[in-house]
Amino acid sequence: MVKPLIFISNDDGYKAKGLCSLINILRPIGDLVVVAPKFVRSGSACSITSDRPVRIEELCKEEGLTIYSCTGTPMDCVKLGLEQAVTRIPDLIVAGINHGDNSAVNVFYSGTMSIVIEGCMKNIPSIGFSLCSFNRNADFSGCSTYILKIVRAVLHNNLPLGTCLNVNFPSPDLFPYKGIRFCRQDRGHWESEWCADNHPGGLKYFWLAGRYVSDEPFSTDTDQWALTNGYVAVTPIKIDLTAYQLLADMPYWNLNDDLK
């Protein structure tokens, strides 16, 4: 029996503990091809490299597992990896396990989710996994059972075209988790996003910082509520950003009047 081919990447770099944990979790159920950034590329969102060459290097090749490093962004890893590192279209693309929360509006900044979005744009079922901990040595063991269940479900049921999954795990401090919640994205924003300091030479500089503030803290159907309350948050994401309701209303704006 041929195992499914699973393409894996991340944004924390090929040495990250979260990536190593994901490889160990998925290796029993699929043949794995890993193309991960050579350097940490967190927060790179959907950026691509267009101003310099990108290199890919094979690091490991054994039965059922091949690992490459890539000098580009997470999205580059997918674009280049699908052309150079696989011999057939993968059955699934998986990103993670990210060190840090990618729920709510964080999905727009996330290098992890750029991998998933790129896979989705290529019509390959894609899932992103993230843990709400920025600790480089975080305990990912609590994610294992959930990842296997979700991956097997997607391999069996597939995903609609143009739709991918964003899966976030609560802090390891909340383990054991209460189960899975299917959620929508929380609506919120970041505030006080920059921390200022003074360089010894006299110039002011800034570090990205801030805190996330929910605009709907009492809603119980959001990913933020699920994570805060100890549930694994599974959010389906669509890559079509068209605002269809507004699109339907726009002809009534009469913008074409007096243009002819």
Domains by residue range for the chain, with CATH: 5-187+217-253 (3.40.1210.10)
Distance CA 43, CA 99 (A): 11
What is the value of pTM for the model shown?
0.93
34 pLDDT more than 70: yes
Phi, psi angle pair for 83, to nearest 5° = -90, -30
pLDDT digits (tens, 9 = 90+) for 45-87: 788 888 899 999 999 999 999 999 999 999 999 999 999 999 9
Residue 154 contacts residue 165 (beta carbons within 8 Å): yes
Instruction: Rounding to the nearest 10 degrees, give the CA dihedral for residues 24, 28, 30, 32.
Output: 30
pLDDT the model gives residue 14: 93
Distance CA 172, CA 51 (A): 39
201 pLDDT more than 80: no
Q: What is the DSSP string of 229-247?
A: TT-EEEEEEES----HHHH
Instruction: Give the pLDDT band of residue 7 (cuts 50, 70, 90).
Output: very high
Alpha helices (H) along 122-168: 144-157
Q: Partners of 190 in the beta sheet?
A: 212
pLDDT digits (tens, 9 = 90+) for 101-141: 999 999 999 999 999 999 999 999 999 999 999 999 999 99
pLDDT the model gives residue 260: 67
8 pLDDT more than 80: yes
Question: What single DSSP character describes residue 253?
Answer: G
Residue 10 contacts residue 95 (beta carbons within 8 Å): yes
Instruction: Give the pLDDT band of residue 190 (cuts 50, 70, 90).
Output: confident
Closest CA relative to residue 232, chosen from 185, 183, 186, 181: 181
Q: Which helix (H) or strand (E) holds 107?
A: none
Distance CA 139, CA 137 (A): 7
Number of alpha carbons in the 13 Å side-chain half-sphere of residue 11: 29
Q: Helices then strands (H, E): number in the chain?
A: 6, 13
Q: 19: which 2 tokens? A: 């990536």
Phi, psi angle pair for 203, to nearest 5° = -90, 140
Q: 112: which 2 tokens? A: 């992890």
